[in-house]
Structure formats: C-alpha cells, structure tokens
C-alpha cells in the first residue's frame, strides 16, 4: 500500500514554499498554485519511487518548474500582468515592490530566473542547482551572474519610471 502519511507530510510541509518559488518564476499566483498541484499529483502517481528519493521535495519542484516552462511556451503570445500572491514565504517590503520585483524577474531568461530562485529562495548550492537543472556548475554560476545583472538592470529601469513625475503642471 502507498504510504499516504508520508505524502501528506511532504505536501503540507512544502506546498506553500513551492507555490512561492513557482510564483516568483511565473508572476502568477493562480498559475503557480495549479502547477504545484499538478506536480504533487504526479508525485502521488509515482509515490513509491518518489518517496524513496533522498529529496522528494526536489523532485516535486523539478516537475513544477518543468510544467511552468512548458506552460509558458504555449502562453507566450498572451500578455499576463503579475498577480500579487496572498502569502509569500519571503515577502518584499510592500505590494508595489513585490509587483515591480515580479515584473523585473519575469524579464530574466528562464534558466537564469530558475537558478536565481533555487539559489536565493530555496537556498540550494551551485552544485545542487547544477544537479537539479542537469547543467555544469560553471553554467549555473554564469546563469546566476547574468541573471543578477539583468535583474538589477530591470529593477533600475522600473525605478526610473516614476509615475509621480508625470504630473500635469
């Protein structure tokens, strides 16, 4: 019989954290919740194998990121505004800052964005990210470097656009 208790424990312990990570990747809370749910559904289907892994959460996270990348591919032509999540593990100062951060991060290349999320939100090492993303450590370091640079440039660009400066004086 499948061990329902250990699956439930994994689900309850990691669901919100995974939703926050996928939200940062997609900039859409509803999409993040759906993708994480789908990843957990797949984990349940393969639970006998997944439960024996050293880190079942990493498996669910990998599936959720892959689903997010595939989902984004077929939705590229649709313009989606970021939705502020009800709850994020590591909240940014205020709602506007969170929206701007999400907009800036959405402009970072997907592999770089994912590496940034895994490094800064999840707390994985470069070697762990390399293993999870099936990439050499040097590539991960490059993604992190380039991703940070692009994110900083995007945040600067957004700060330069100050809606209060466009008054009708």
Domain co-membership, 121 together with 56 = no
Indicate the DSSP class of residue 163.
G
Domain co-membership, 27 together with 7 = yes
CB 7 within 8 A of CB 44: yes
Q: What is the CATH number of the domain that holds 124?
A: 1.10.10.10
What is the Cα–Cα distance from 161 to 148, expressed in whole angstroms?
20
- For residue 40, give the 3-state DSSP assignment: helix
Is pTM beyond 0.85? Reply is no
In a domain, 45, yes or no: yes
The total domain count for the chain is 2
Kindly report, residue by residue over 56-112, the tens digit of the pLDDT: 999 999 999 999 888 765 454 334 444 444 444 444 445 666 677 778 888 899 999
Range of the domain at 51: 1-81
Q: Tokens 């939200």 map to which residue?
A: 23
Q: What is the CATH number of the domain that holds 16?
A: 1.10.1740
């Amino acid at each position: 019989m499948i061990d329902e208790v250990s699956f439930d424990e994994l689900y309850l312990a990691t669901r919100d954290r995974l939703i926050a990570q996928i939200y940062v990747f997609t900039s859409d809370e509803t999409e993040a919740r759906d993708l994480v749910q789908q990843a957990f559904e797949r984990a349940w289907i393969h639970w006998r194998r997944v439960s024996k892994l050293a880190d079942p959460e990493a498996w669910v996270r990998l599936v959720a990121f892959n689903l997010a990348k595939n989902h984004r591919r077929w939705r590229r032509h649709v313009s989606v505004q970021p939705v502020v999540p009800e709850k994020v593990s590591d909240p940014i100062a205020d709602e506007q800052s969170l929206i701007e951060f999400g907009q800036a991060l959405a402009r970072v290349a997907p592999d770089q964005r994912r590496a940034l999320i895994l490094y800064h939100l999840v707390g994985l090492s470069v070697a762990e990210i390399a293993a999870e993303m099936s990439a050499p450590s040097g590539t991960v370091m490059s993604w992190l470097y380039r991703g940070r640079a692009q994110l900083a440039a995007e945040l600067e660009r957004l700060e330069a656009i100050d809606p209060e400066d466009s008054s009708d004086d």
